[in-house]
Amino acid sequence: MDASAPLDTALGRVGLIAAALLAAAAVLSDRPRLRAAAMAGALVLTPVLLIAEIYDTEQFRTLRDRPAFTAAATAAALIALAVLAVAMARRPLLLPLLAVAALPFRIPVEAGGQTSNLLVPLYGVIAAGALAQMPALFRDRRPAGIRERPLGVLAAVLLGFVVLYALQASYADDVSVAAEQVVFFYVPFALLFGLLVRLEWTVRVLTWCLGTVLALALVFALIGFVEYETRTLLLNPKVIASNAFGSYFRVNSLFFDPNIYGRFLAEVMIAVAAVVAWTSNRRDIALLGIALAVMWAALVLTFSQSSFAALLAGLAVVAALRWSVRPVAIIAAAALALGAVGGAIALAVRGDVPSPREINRATVGRSKLVEGGLELWAERPLHGYGSGSFQEEYRRKRDLSRPNAVTASHTTPITIAAEQGLIGLALYAVLILVALRALLARASGSLPRVVIAAAFVALVVHTLFYAAFLEDPTTWVLLAAGIALAARHSSSAVSSSSSFT
């Protein structure tokens, strides 16, 4: 392989497709032995692809030049994974709790010529969960805690998109971004989905999961308050630099991006608001109301408009499922109409139409990215430029010299359209529609399902303004829990009085 681009070869691209196919088999197969074998294959192939991609980076060179340390660290990691896998095999419900607890924590890793913030703790949880399934290789029966259930169309479409993404990476000029997506996000998160979707999502487990993310959100909020008070950020030099020259100070707590921090807060707030809407316990309402106020203050300090939009969308779903769809739809339509009228009045007072440069500045560069993405799609409307190609093709079209000038359009449908054309865009639309149908169908009678559906809608809205749809493990966790809860609901195993409180 070419040392400068190890996966940018025919063999490397075939490896990505093989990893995607293994992930699909690990989820969709109805045979425990085949699922375990596919998971084992993905667990072996994915690190091989990762090492091939980062072998010449400074981070990996440090490990390569210290073989004794690397061997000791690898042995310690494998022992820790084995211990955790044994614990999960005995108590399978440890997996969702640990996965949810690990969701926010990212570590910077250099790959594909740039630094990515990766969910390394979550990868450890996924690996341990997959190892816990390995006994099925020797006896073709499901491990403890796993239930064989039909996954339906949603799972097939979801994994179909993963395979399609890997296939369409085969004709991209530069495969490094697609390799990062497949190796760091799609394959491990698909394995996580396959592990979670067959678990029993009881009210007790959901309660513990909500308590975990709520506690984390309050801790992150406290850190954000300290950052704002001291005007000091702990992470991300880009945000630090923008704060130095901006007219307002954005906080990101322990996240690398204020918008991702805001997305996390919005998701937790939606879940807590749903509980408040369903419970009649005054003490619980008071305590959760205080938590909501703290998280709202923290969200304001992110100045993340996409997170505000996601929060409003999620709350609208909660209100519609709790009370009635019609008044919520009327209020939403009225709010949109008022916004349109306000915008028209502002333009009339201004006296002219804002220039493209002014619009781009007001949207922090997003409008130019969207425009460029649409232009790329128009050039190759059917199949696009190949998965992961947006950055390279946008730079080429706009003649940008900086290597990391852009990574995506910040609008998921446009990124997919530019990279995968109508083929990928159509499957993405089907995925969204199938997911909404599965999560929202008869969900109003179950508080856990309301929380899942509202949080997913909020996440989809956020990706319309900030991308990171299947790159966010929250998407996979929500869909796995939603499918499992829908299956229990259809078999009348979930009472309509289910509650987190």
Model confidence at 222: pLDDT above 70 = yes
- Residue 168 is assigned to a structural domain of this protein: yes
Calpha distance 489→501 (Å, rounded): 19
List the beta bridge partners of residue 109.
Answer: 116
Other Cβ atoms within 10 Å of 316 Cβ, number: 21
Given the structure tokens 């179950």, which residue do they identify? 446
Confidence class for position 6, pLDDT limits 50, 70, 90:
low
CA 192, distance to chain mean position in Å, is 12
431 assigned to some structural domain: no
Instruction: Report percent pLDDT > 90 for the chain.
Output: 48
In a domain, 33, yes or no: yes
What single string gives the DSSP state of each residue in 210-237? HHHHHHHHHHHHHHHHHHHHHT--SS-H
- Residue whose C-alpha is closest to residue 310's, from 260, 239, 242: 260
Distance CA 39, CA 33 (A): 10
Is there a domain that residue 30 lies in?
yes
Structure tokens at 116: 């990515």
In a domain, 474, yes or no: no
Measuring CA to CA, which residue among 415, 421, 414 is closest to residue 384?
A: 421
Calculate the alpha carbon distances from 311 to 274, 305, 387 in Å.
12, 10, 30
How far is residue 34's CA from residue 12's CA, in Å, rounded to a whole number?
A: 24
Number of structural domains found in the chain: 1
The model's pTM: 0.89
383 part of a folded domain? no
Show Cβ contacts of residue 216 under 8 Å, excluding neighbours closer than 6 positions: 101, 104, 268
Phi, psi of 149 (to 5 degrees): -140, 150
Is 146 a member of any domain? yes
Average pLDDT over residues 462-466: 90
Task: Tell me the per-residue pLDDT of 333-379, one tens digit each, with 9 for 90 and over.
Answer: 888 788 778 767 766 666 665 656 655 555 555 777 888 888 899 99
Domain interval for residue 62: 1-200
At 115 the pLDDT is 60
Q: How many CB atoms lie within 10 A of CB 119?
A: 22
Q: How confident is the model at residue 2 (pLDDT cuts 50, 70, 90)?
A: very low
% of the chain exceeding 70 in pLDDT: 83
For 39-75, the pLDDT digits (tens) are: 999 999 988 887 777 777 666 777 777 888 888 888 9
Q: Is residue 299 part of a domain?
A: no
Report the SS3 class of residue 109. Answer: strand
Say what the pLDDT of residue 268 is: 97
125 and 454 in contact (C-beta within 8 Å)? Answer: no
| Rounded CA separation 67/148 (Å) | 43
